[in-house]
Amino acid sequence: MIIDLRSDTVTRPTLGMKEAMFSAPVGDDVFGEDPTVNALEEKAAQLFGMEAGLFCPSGTMTNQIAIRLHTRIQTEVICHKYSHIYLYEGGGIMANSHASVKLLEGDLGKITAKQVAESINPDDVHAPETTLVSLENTMNKGGGSIYTLDEIKPIHALCKEKGIKLHLDGARLFNALVETGESPADWGAHFDTISICLSKGLGCPIGSVLLGSKADIKRARKVRKVFGGGMRQAGFLAAAGIYALDNQVERLKEDHARARALGEMLNKLPVVSEIFPVATNIVIARLEGTTPEEFMKKLADQNIKSVKFGKDLVRFVTHLDFEDEHLEEFGRRIAKI
């Protein structure tokens, strides 16, 4: 048994998802004629109380399209220094939008309205114009930490007052929502655009949806085209997204419970000095007396896969294909390390 905890992107479609995919009616999405893609976009938009959606191959693409919509040359994006849009999207903010970035510190990857207010540039010839604030929920580098609506509301109010757009990288947003009990529609009311990923905790083979106003999504289709993201009979993939939204959201709580148990197991190891607070499905272990490479080699010898997440950090992510039997076996194997 290989225990793969590198990411929740390693999941494979369930039988029910495969059946939905194989039976999906399809058409040419670039012509707007794929009924299943249209249904997914409408379903996601309605779920969040937003006007329209755009199906894309990846969360990186939906984030980068949103940044392109809300910036232009010589403008600036405010985000946390550990944001996915900054660290893990290949320098896309610069390459795609020619925008500057202001990076903020913050507990477990989160920032506050006070920090944002202090970071908005003045109307000065020497400074780029601040046009966008981007948040991430859950926060990957924060160990799956969660923003709540009470934390979002003052940031939203500030952005609205200052005429600044607010984007949410919601790659694991559903993980947050099943924990807080907040509704997608409440979140949709506080952002100009939201990216939701279908290929992480929801278990789809591919895809993300960008949500926003009709005007923004119309512009986003042109940006998707120039990014090479126009797909044809994409309904087979969109069907997986519809199935996931209908059947695989509530089960995310199981991933979270297993992540907490996994964190407790790891915390007993002498080489683990700290486990980040386990809020959702991400477990980050800080090491002492060994390196991530050495520790991961010992894990690999036990057929356990993980990823280095910093100079002394290793990350584990629970998911659809990591069940109770895998958790029990994980405990038995790390006891041998």
> What is the three-state SS of the chain?
CCEECCCCCCCCCCHHHHHHHHCCCCCCHHHCCCHHHHHHHHHHHHHCCCCEEEEECCHHHHHHHHHHHHCCCCEEEEEECCCHHHHCCCCHHHHHHCCEEEEECCHHHCCCHHHHHHHCCCCCCCCCEEEEEEEECCEHHHCCECCCHHHHHHHHHHHHHHCCEEEEEECCHHHHHHHHCCCHHHHHCCCCEEEEECCCCCCCCCCEEEEECHHHHHHHHHHHHHCCCCCCCCHHHHHHHHHHHHHCCCCHHHHHHHHHHHHHHHHCCCCEEEECCCCCCEEEEEECCCCHHHHHHHHHHCCEECEEEECCEEEEECCCCCCHHHHHHHHHHHCCC
**Cα–Cα distance measured from residue 8 to residue 321, given in angstroms and rounded to the nearest whole number:** 9
pLDDT band at 337 (very low <50, low <70, confident <90, very high): confident
pLDDT in tens, 62-117: 999 999 999 999 999 999 999 999 999 999 999 999 999 999 999 999 999 999 99
Instruction: Tell me the average pLDDT of the chain.
Output: 98
Please enumerate in sequence order all residues whose Cβ is within 8 A of that of 19, keeping only pairs 6 or more positions apart, or say none: none
* pTM (two decimals): 0.97
Question: What pLDDT is recorded for position 197?
Answer: 98
**Chain centroid to CA 54: how far?**
16
Asked whether 142 and 175 are in contact (CB, 8 A), the reply is no
Tell me the percentage of the chain whose pLDDT exceeds 90.
Answer: 99
Stated as kind and residue range, the H or E segment containing 173 is: helix 173-180
Question: What pLDDT is recorded for position 51?
Answer: 98
pLDDT in tens, 125-180: 999 999 999 999 999 999 999 999 999 999 999 999 999 999 999 999 999 999 99
